[in-house]
Amino acid sequence: MSQLVEQERYGERKPIIVLPDEVAERIAAGEVIERPASVIKELIENALDAQARDIKIEVRGGGLLLMRVSDDGIGMPEDDLERACLRHSTSKLTTVEDLERLGTLGFRGEALASIATIAEMTLQSRASETAEEDAEQPASWITLRGGEVIERGLKARLPGTTVTVRDLFYNVPARLKFMRGARTENGHILQLVRRTALGYPGVRFTLVLDEHIALQTSGSGDLKAALTEIYALPLNEMLHEVERGVGENCRVHGYVGNRVLAQSGRQYVTLFVNGRWVQSRALYEALEKGYRSLLPKGKHPLLILYIEVAPDEVDVNVHPAKIEVRLAREQEVLNLLTEAIQAVLERSPILPEEVRFPGPMLANQRRLPGPRRRGLHVSETAREYLAEAAPVDSAEIIAQLKPLAQLQRAVILAEAPDGSLYLVDQHRAHERVIYEHLRKTYAAGLDGGEEANGHMLLEPVIVEMKRHQAEMLEARLPMLRGLGLECERFGGRSFLVRSVPAGEGYEQLASYAQELVEIAAEDNEEWEQSLLIGLSCRSALRRGRELSQGEQRSLLASLARVQVPAACPHGSPILLHYSRSFLIEKFDW
């Protein structure tokens, strides 16, 4: 130990003083904000408490350069912006008694104040009530750096809140020194957003990491769908619903995966207490008691369970990060957890092949945003598809496939020259063929080539738009003509759709005119991609349609000629491959 440290530790007694506000605030901020993921957690919780149904998270440089969380919640009026950034300011409780019946995720009033102390933070918000009073009312914004307001102003925005954080830990070099690389910090953020999306399947989450969409959920409210979207695996038939309860104020419900979903880590064990993600040794031990004798050593199940108890029977104020709780009726909850997981795994059969979950970064997938009501998930670059979706030379193999039968009027069963079998989803295959044709046509039009011919409708379709949509759509009408989608203004906010892109399935598009035009009027940079996908999806042949042998061969031949035959434009698989070696192994030939 150096002499200087010895003197500081054992030197003269120093008087007790009250820390300066600047020092105290940085210490407090360090307790709340451990890393960039801590910022994202606090901001997402604020958005959820504000009743948001659409939350977008943008991250650059692992969060150290920029983090932005935007929501469509109830927002704040201008008078509340600066007050919200003061320490211990909150709208979520007013008395000590409120701590005993918390119904919100945040409650301490430390998040925004802590972030503003150790970063540059811009808070922009528009209260939802202003949308009813004055549609033209702009949103207010303020920028703080080191806890001080340095700028303020007004800017157009729909109701909701956007918090932008730049240069995290710029004035805390000791904390900055211990930050990991951007990939590691992105991994923590992705894991956090995945967990939160599981807890709130009715909220649409979009996570953009360094301008690449890493995660997107539809916000449909269907937990099974959310699990499939988040883990990028076909989990629907592998999940078992559980429901256990004791009286009216103690309930455990959710899903437990079957035996094949068991993994070597606990990262897929997810628990929520009254909507709050928690880590609790006692709860984990109760789960392990239920599955330890039913799974191989070192394996842990996939599960998502919600524990619901009366607000006055749970204490959430026992950990600075609010991830530990105390339960008044803990033993009853522990018994319910053990029973729930045993009920599934005791009856879970072994499936033929192991399920491998994607890595923490989902680096091989990119999903582009689509309209909330449709929940489109896009995965468009060939190299970004899951490698297991189809062999590398799938196009050559598809061209040689011999159709054997149509199953359930939805899937083509075909045999390859090597004796292996393929199942081909007829709707997705046709959707991929149409999509690539439309994409080439549209690209040629943008490059100055010949515009696509449209199919004129016998009767034009009138569509009504909102004011902001009408202005956006009118500016894009020339580009729509490049697709063969002829549309013109019909006074006010009305438009006439006179033609749709010519080609297979065009007759189905007229009934979707309103929906397609709304996609074309979306205020995002990916509207063209979403429109191409919408057109191809709605004109592709439907499941339930019987195909002749000739139609099956024609569809397979068309699929063999596309650039990406393994997945539809939404990123869903088209091909399911049963190799000859798989058949030999399973039938013991």
DSSP string, 118-138: SSEEEEEEE-HHHHHH-TTPP
Which residue type does 566 have? A
pLDDT for res 546: 93
pLDDT for res 420: 87
CB atoms within 10 A of CB 34: 15
**CATH among 3.90.1750.10, 3.30.465.10, 3.40.1710.10, 3.30.1370.100 for 388-589:** 3.30.1370.100
Order the strands of the 421-425 sheet from edge to edge: 402-407, 411-415, 421-425, 575-578
- Residues 500, 506: contact at Cβ < 8 Å? yes
Helix 36-49 and helix 182-199: axis angle, to 10°?
20
Question: Which residue bears the tokens 């900055």?
Answer: 176
Q: How far apart are CA 294 and CA 301, in angstroms?
A: 10
The two three-digit tokens of residue 447, written as one number? 């490059």
Contacts 24+ apart (CB under 8 A), 346-350: 346/294, 348/240, 348/258, 348/259, 348/260, 349/258, 349/259, 350/259, 350/260
pLDDT for res 19: 60
**End-to-end CA, the chain:** 72
Domain boundaries, the chain: 21-216, 233-345, 388-589
Query: Tens of pLDDT along the chain (589 residues)?
Result: 455 555 555 557 777 766 666 666 655 555 567 889 999 999 999 999 889 999 999 999 999 999 999 999 999 888 888 888 887 666 555 555 545 555 567 555 577 888 888 889 999 999 887 655 555 678 899 999 988 899 999 988 889 999 999 999 888 887 777 787 888 999 999 999 999 999 999 999 999 999 899 999 999 999 988 888 888 776 766 788 899 888 778 899 999 987 778 888 888 899 998 888 888 888 999 999 888 877 777 888 889 999 998 888 877 666 555 667 788 888 998 999 998 888 887 766 554 466 666 655 443 344 433 433 343 444 443 333 333 334 334 667 888 999 999 999 999 999 999 888 889 999 999 998 988 888 887 777 665 555 556 777 778 888 888 888 888 888 888 888 777 788 888 888 888 888 788 777 667 777 787 888 888 888 877 788 888 888 888 888 888 999 999 999 999 999 999 877 877 887 677 888 888 887 887 787 8
Q: How far apart are CA 577 and CA 449, in angstroms?
A: 39
The two three-digit tokens of residue 245, written as one number? 């309860």
pLDDT for res 133: 53
Q: How far apart are CA 464 and CA 492, in angstroms?
A: 9
Q: How far apart are CA 177 and CA 124, in angstroms?
A: 30
**For residues 146, 151, 157 and 162, what is the CA-based torsion angle, rounded to 10 degrees?**
0
- Residues 377, 571: contact at Cβ < 8 Å? yes
Identify the CA nearest to 344 among candidates 284, 257, 264. 257
How many C-alpha atoms does 584 have within 13 Å on its Cβ side? Answer: 6
Question: Which residue bears the tokens 């009726």?
Answer: 329
CB atoms within 10 A of CB 584: 11
DSSP string, 559-577: HHTSS-TTB-TTS-B-EEE
Determine phi and psi for 123, rounding to 5 degrees.
-115, 115
List alpha helices for 33-158, DSSP H: 36-49, 78-84, 111-117, 128-133
- Residues 118, 26: contact at Cβ < 8 Å? yes
> pTM surpassing 0.75?
no
DSSP state of 378: B
Cα 33 to the chain's mean position, in Å? 23
Q: How far apart are CA 438 and CA 516, in angstroms?
A: 14
User: What CATH code would you report for 233-345?
Assistant: 3.30.230.10
pLDDT for res 388: 35
Q: How far apart are CA 124 and CA 85, in angstroms?
A: 12
pLDDT for res 30: 53
Which residue type does 313 have? E
580 Cβ contact partners less than 8 Å away, ≥ 6 residues apart: 418, 419, 420
Cα angle, residue 209 at apex, residues 208 and 210 outer, rounded to 5°: 115
Q: What CATH fold (topology level) applies to the domain 21-216?
A: Heat Shock Protein 90 (3.30.565)
